[in-house]
């Protein structure tokens, strides 16, 4: 499969979380998912350990069960006091963005089980870690997951980065036979994109989060 030709910046700035514009009726060829994973495996890992594992779930029954867990977790999340940017002191403009994000997240939560491909990125976590250094662990998996999404976007696929399933990490591990020393890091529902173009999203200005030399 030839990818869509794109300038690097355009590719990186238009790979968005796709939640509403996922084609739930069109199957995704497994070969396309494999291509995206081949690209993902070129991401770096700490000490080149490559301790990742990738669950690709297309079985409808399994997806429905994952979707049930996801929806339950989303319901709990929706009831939390910070849901949708509540009590965050955002500007009206930002609050409007947050409202759209929440609506889109609710839409996906209702349909997670129907998204044709669930990709779950996992990592072996049995090795001794420096105390508290979970950033080191996740740094050996999450860049590859992001590469997967970018490679998917270059093939006309949309995906979303979700972690709400982790509330039921043990249940999903049992469902899929994931060993106890393997941690799930991200669930990437993936499907053909039904939108026409991918656009960059509004963001807070760089200077609000950039610190030169000192905070």
Residues 123-162 close enough to bind a second copy by CB under 8 A: 127-128, 130, 132-136, 138-139, 142-143, 145-147, 149-151, 154, 160-161
**Does 167 sit near a second copy (CB under 8 A)?**
yes
Looking at 22, 32, 55, 115, which residue binds a second copy (CB under 8 A)?
55
User: Minimum distance between the CB of residue 115 and a second copy, rounded to whole angstroms?
Assistant: 15
What does the block give as tokens for 160?
A: 């979303």
Q: Which long-range contacts (CB under 8 A, 24 or more apart) does 40-45 make?
A: 40/144, 40/145, 40/147, 40/148, 40/151, 41/144, 42/147, 43/143, 43/144, 43/146, 43/147, 44/140, 44/143, 45/140, 45/141, 45/144
213: left (phi over 0), alpha (psi -120 to 50) or beta: left
Looking at 32, 105, 108, 157, which residue binds a second copy (CB under 8 A)?
105
- Each residue 5-44 as x (binds a second copy by CB under 8 A) or -, in order, gives xxxxx-xxxxxxx------------x---x--xxx-xxxx
| CB of 39 or CB of 191, closer to a second copy | 39
Binding segment for a second copy (CB under 8 A), chosen from 20-28, 49-57, 64-72, 108-116, is 49-57
**Does 97 sit near a second copy (CB under 8 A)?**
yes
| CB of 11 or CB of 21, closer to a second copy | 11
Binding segment for a second copy (CB under 8 A), chosen from 20-28, 64-72, 77-85, 107-115, is 77-85
Q: Describe the crossing of helices 169-176 and 60-78 by its angle, rounded to 10 degrees.
A: 180
Residues in binding contact with a second copy, number by CB under 8 A: 89
Residue 148: burial class (beta carbons within 10 Å; 0-12, 13-18, 19+): buried
Binding segment for a second copy (CB under 8 A), chosen from 21-29, 64-72, 80-88, 107-115, is 80-88
Binding to a second copy (CB under 8 A) within 186-215 occurs at 186, 200-201, 203-204, 206, 209-215
**CA–CA separation, 189 and 71 (whole Å):** 13
**Radius of gyration for the alpha carbons in the chain, expressed in angstroms and rounded:** 18
């Amino acid at each position: 499969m030839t990818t869509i030709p794109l300038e690097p910046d355009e590719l990186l700035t238009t790979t968005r979380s796709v939640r509403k514009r996922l084609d739930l009726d069109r199957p995704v060829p497994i070969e396309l998912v494999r291509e995206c994973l081949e690209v993902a495996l070129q991401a770096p890992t700490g000490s080149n350990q490559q301790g990742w594992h990738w669950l690709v779930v297309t079985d409808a029954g399994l997806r429905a069960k994952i979707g049930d867990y996801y929806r339950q977790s989303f319901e709990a999340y929706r009831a939390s006091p910070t849901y949708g940017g509540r009590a965050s002191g955002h500007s009206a403009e930002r609050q409007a963005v947050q409202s759209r994000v929440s609506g889109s997240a609710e839409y996906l939560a209702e349909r997670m089980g129907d998204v044709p491909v669930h990709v779950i990125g996992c990592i072996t976590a049995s090795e001794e870690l420096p105390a508290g250094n979970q950033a080191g662990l996740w740094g050996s998996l999450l860049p590859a997951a992001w590469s997967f999404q970018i490679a998917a976007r270059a093939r006309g696929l949309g995906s979303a980065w979700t972690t709400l399933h982790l509330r039921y990490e043990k249940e999903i591990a049992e469902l899929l036979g994931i060993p106890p020393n393997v941690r799930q890091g991200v669930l990437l529902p993936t499907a053909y994109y039904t939108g026409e173009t991918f656009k960059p999203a509004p963001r807070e200005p760089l200077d609000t989060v950039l610190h030169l030399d000192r905070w």
